[in-house]
Chain A
Amino acid sequence: MRQVVWLVIAVLAGCGAYQRGEGLDVATVPPALHADYELFARRCSRCHSLSRPLNARITADEHWAEYVSRMRRMPGSGISPDDVPALLRFLTWYSAARRAPDGGAGGAR
Chain B
Amino acid sequence: MKSRALMLLICLVGVLSPFVAQSIDLNLAGTLQLDYLFTPFGRSDPRPASHTLDGFTEKLSLKLAIDISSHASANVKACFGCHGFEVGMAYVDFRLADEFNIRAGRFSPTFGEFGLRHDPGNHRLSDKPLPYDMGRMLRMMEFGRSVLPSPYVDNGIELSGSHFFGRRLQLDYAAHAVAGLRANTDTPYDVDFIASRSAAPYYIDNNSQPSVGGRVGLTARLADRVDLTVGGSAIWGAYDTRARMTYTVLGADLFLRAGRTNVRAEYLIRRTDMYAAEQERFEYALQPWPTDRCPSGSSRCATAGTWRSSSLCCATSTSSCAGTACAAAATSPRARPSTSTRASRAGPSAPSTPSSAGID
Contacts and interface: CB of A to CB of B under 8 A. Distances in A.
A80 B229 CA distance: 14
Nearest to B259: A42
Nearest to B65: A70
Given A75-B116, A77-B170, A52 B121 contact: yes
A82 B121 CA distance: 28
B98 A75 contact: no
B29 A76 contact: no
Contacts of B166: 80
A66 B215 CA distance: 25
Contacts of B29: 56
A60 interface: yes
B85 interface: no
A78 interface: yes
A82 B167 CA distance: 7
A73 interface: yes
Contacts of B164: 80-81
Contacts of B215: 75
A23 to B, nearest CB: 11
A90 B69 CA distance: 23
A78 B117 contact: no
B27 interface: yes
Contacts of B174: 75
Interface stretch (B12-20, B217-225, B293-301, B324-332): B217-225
Given A48-B117, A78-B221, A80-B170, A70 B231 contact: no
A13 B154 CA distance: 36
B260 to A, nearest CB: 8
A70 B73 contact: yes
Given A70-B73, A81-B164, A76 B172 contact: yes
Interface in A40-90: 42, 46-49, 52, 56-58, 60, 62-63, 66-67, 69-70, 72-78, 80-83
What's the dominant secondary structure at chain B's contact region? strand
A6 B38 contact: yes
B193 interface: no
Given A62-B25, A69-B70, A80-B170, A74 B38 contact: no
Contacts of B52: none
A58 to B, nearest CB: 7
B124 A49 contact: yes
What bracket does the count of chain A residues touching chain B fall in?
20 to 34
B227 A62 contact: no
B110 interface: yes
B67 A66 contact: yes
Contacts of B225: 42
A53 to B, nearest CB: 11
Interface in B49-74: 65, 67, 70, 73
Nearest to B42: A3
A60 B26 CA distance: 11
B67 A70 contact: yes
Contacts of A66: 25, 67, 70, 73
A71 B29 CA distance: 15
A56 B217 contact: no
Contacts of B40: 3, 6
B113 interface: yes
B198 interface: no
Contacts of B122: 47-48, 52
Contacts of B65: 70
Contact of B162 (A49, A60, A67, A77): A77
Nearest to B123: A48
Contacts of A78: 170, 219, 221, 227, 229
A62 B227 CA distance: 29
B160 interface: yes
6 contacts: A21-B260, A48-B117, A69-B70, A75-B231, A77-B162, A77-B170
Which 5 pairs from chain A and chain B are nearest by CB?
Answer: A75-B172, A48-B122, A66-B67, A76-B229, A80-B164
Given A48-B117, A52-B122, 18 more contacts: A3-B40, A10-B38, A46-B227, A46-B257, A47-B117, A56-B27, A58-B27, A63-B27, A66-B70, A66-B73, A73-B101, A75-B215, A76-B116, A76-B170, A78-B221, A78-B227, A80-B166, A81-B164
